[in-house]
Amino acid sequence: MEQWQKDLMGIVETVAEEVERFFQGMNDMVDSFFDLTEELTEEVQNNIAAEVEQYLQEISAPFLEMYWELEDIVTDADPGFPYSVEATPEQNSACVGCTNYHGQVYGGNLLVCAMHPHGWDYQNCPDWEQE
């Protein structure tokens, strides 16, 4: 082999080694960059999550307080709020099936009907009408 061929082969081998070293360096740099971005991403996510959680707690605290206070108010609500009571054979038996039966409790007092606010004491009511 002639000298210029040996020199050319030496140059090609040197260039190949330098290119390999360059790409190995680039590979190391890219790996370092990915490691750094992964660490930064984790830290940002943790910080953002903590800040969002704190922010939500600050926002929700007054609403939760109002909710608990409202629950206390509802629990202590006036039992005078009207509610229905059905006529049964045991209570207001003369009113079972009567169209005049009102059966609403106001302030703890049952209004049976307009004609007999406290109900009829006997079995057959004179004002009874079929529903």
pTM confidence score: 0.40
Tell me: pLDDT of 75 over 60: no
In terms of domains, do 93 and 71 share one? no
In terms of domains, do 55 and 82 share one? no
- Would you place residue 72 in the very low, low, confident or very high pLDDT band (cuts 50, 70, 90)? low
Q: What is the pLDDT of residues 109-119, one digit of tens each?
A: 889 998 899 88
Site of tokens 């009113």: 95
In terms of domains, do 68 and 105 share one? no
Percent of the chain as helix, strand, coil, to the nearest 5:
60, 10, 35
Tell me: pLDDT of 81 over 80: no
Q: What is the pLDDT of residues 83-93, one digit of tens each?
A: 888 888 888 88
In terms of domains, do 47 and 1 share one? yes
Q: How many domains does the chain have?
A: 2
* Domain that includes residue 45, residue range: 1-77
Which pLDDT score is estimated for 122? 84
In terms of domains, do 9 and 63 share one? yes
In terms of domains, do 60 and 120 share one? no
Q: And the tokens for 24?
A: 């190995």
